[in-house]
Chain A
Amino acid sequence: MAATKIKTTKKKAAKRAAAKPRTLVLVSTRKGAWIYQSDASRRSWETKGPHFLGHIINHMVLDPRDGRMLLAAAKTGHLGPTVFRSTDLGKTWKEAAKPPAFAKAPAGMRDRSVDHTFWLTPAHANEPNVWYAGTSPQGLFRSEDGGVSWAPFSNFHDDPNFRDWFGGEQDGTPDGPKLHSILIDPRDPSHLYFAMSGGGVHETRDRGKSWTPLVKGLEVVEGFDPKNIAFHDPHCVRMSSDPDRLWQQNHCGIYRLDRPSTEWVRVGKAMPKKTGDIGLPITVHPRDPDTAWVFPMDGGGVWPRTSPDGISGAFVTRNGGKTWKRQAAGMPEGPVWWTVKRQAMAADKGDPVGIYFGTTSGEVWSSRDEGEKWSALARHLPEIYAVETAEIG
């Protein structure tokens, strides 16, 4: 009798575990992409990859609306950019028939060419198969057929103001200025945000017919005029579980914006002075708008962009940025000189939330308990450009 009960309990436990969603961690690198799939407890991980070995993969994202379609933004050091699509979770891939490409510019304006697609965002839940892509140089593109064909979205690519804000060859990040952080209001598909490095944060409430810069309160590098949108360098912007709250890791600090206000507040001033609030990535809790994680970097002197003083650690706030706490248990205690790029930190939807980050030295670190303890999920990968998570049933 007792043995039968134990057997039934085990069966029920196994059934419960099987019903729990699995987490995918999608890792994009300078030399290809890898997919890590967890068991129900997120303790053991199965590795799938490399995909596209030798390709620069800037971003790989799973469509949460169908849980099957993956898009990957690819190029190589020599070949032009493209987008690959998979409708079977990466078992097979097909190339987009018409990747993002700029239209011919009006007379008197310089033609721009897409160097690479940098950012991919599935559109609103009520717009199946619609995706947005941000490119380098700065461009915003939309696909309405699941990434098969892409067209310029909105009319700002050749707007004279935006042309000024895009900056020139000497501006932007070392591998090209980028449009990133495409955010969609879950309450209204016409309400979007994007950010540009450089070129500020922008908002539309009419599906791209008009855009308004959102830079009030943001600081710029000393000597530049903050009134000039071109000098604003948002590194990463995230929408919290409350769509009226945005979080931003900027070149000049960590900020929070609570709509309808249009003024960012530098909440990073509460970070420890010796660490500072400079960094590239930021990620948010899927259910708590007060909670966000950052991975600070050294922004002093010549900007090493490595862990400040060689001390690793994520930092979390659980009260909207009033206070921050270092989270490094399980990370190396000795000096580490990690750099975590703007797309390379992500949270899953688990409870407790799993947090993941990837370093330019090819390590993926994960925490199953919201950053309290960390362990290495992968090592010896190429330079990591992006880390995303997804859930599959």
Chain B
Amino acid sequence: MKVLIPTPLRSYTGQRQVEAEGVTVGALLADLDRQYPGIRFRMVDEHDRMRRHMRLFVNGEQVFDLSRPLVSSDDIAIVQALSGG
């Protein structure tokens, strides 16, 4: 499925949108990390909690639970919350 990558993570992917697979959000993130080593830990901490400013949307629905099931037609957007200075 297609995954939208926010600009702060494009140093890993080199592109705005990438392809990744997984039957859950956790599996999708693992596949992303396999393709782009290190990217997962920048988004998710060591206890599988989404980091404070990271957001992941499945078909427009905000998801925090990594066990959330996915199907191949799902549209995934990883977004970084805007804040800071």
Contact = CB atoms under 8 A, between A and B. Distances in A.
B71 to A, nearest CB: 28
A77 B84 contact: yes
Contacts of B81: 78
B8 A79 contact: yes
Interface in A217-268: none
Interface string A111-147: 1011000000000000000000000000000000000
B41 A78 contact: no
A76 interface: yes
| B: interface residue count bin | 20 to 34
B51 interface: yes
Contacts of A96: 38
Interface string A60-95: 000000000000000011111110000000000001
A99 interface: yes
A97 to B, nearest CB: 7
The 8 lowest CB-CB distance pairs between A and B, nearest first, are: A101-B46, A78-B53, A113-B45, A77-B84, A79-B42, A111-B47, A80-B42, A95-B38
B43 interface: yes
Contacts of B43: 79-80
28 contacts: A77-B83, A78-B8, A78-B51, A78-B52, A78-B53, A78-B54, A78-B81, A78-B83, A79-B8, A79-B42, A79-B54, A79-B80, A80-B41, A80-B43, A80-B45, A80-B51, A82-B38, A82-B42, A95-B37, A96-B38, A99-B41, A101-B41, A101-B45, A102-B46, A102-B47, A111-B47, A113-B45, A114-B45
Interface string B27-58: 00000000001100111111101011110000
Given A77-B83, A78-B51, A114-B46, 20 more contacts: A76-B8, A78-B52, A78-B53, A78-B81, A79-B9, A79-B43, A79-B54, A80-B41, A80-B42, A80-B44, A82-B38, A82-B42, A96-B38, A97-B38, A101-B46, A102-B46, A102-B47, A111-B47, A113-B46, A113-B49
A81 B47 CA distance: 14
A103 B46 CA distance: 8
A154 to B, nearest CB: 17
A82 B41 CA distance: 8
A36 to B, nearest CB: 25
B4 to A, nearest CB: 16
A79 B79 CA distance: 11
Contact of A79 (B46, B47, B51): B51
Interface of B: 8-9, 37-38, 41-47, 49, 51-54, 80-81, 83-84
Nearest to B82: A78
Contacts of B51: 78-80
SS of B interface (majority):
loop
A329 to B, nearest CB: 36
Interface centre among B38, B43, B53 (most CB of A within 10 A): B38
Given A79-B8, A111-B47, A97 B37 contact: yes
Nearest to A80: B42
A101 B43 CA distance: 13
A78 B37 contact: no
A209 interface: no
A77 B6 CA distance: 14
Contacts of A76: 8
A343 B45 CA distance: 26
A99 B9 CA distance: 17
A231 B22 CA distance: 47
A373 interface: no
A176 to B, nearest CB: 12
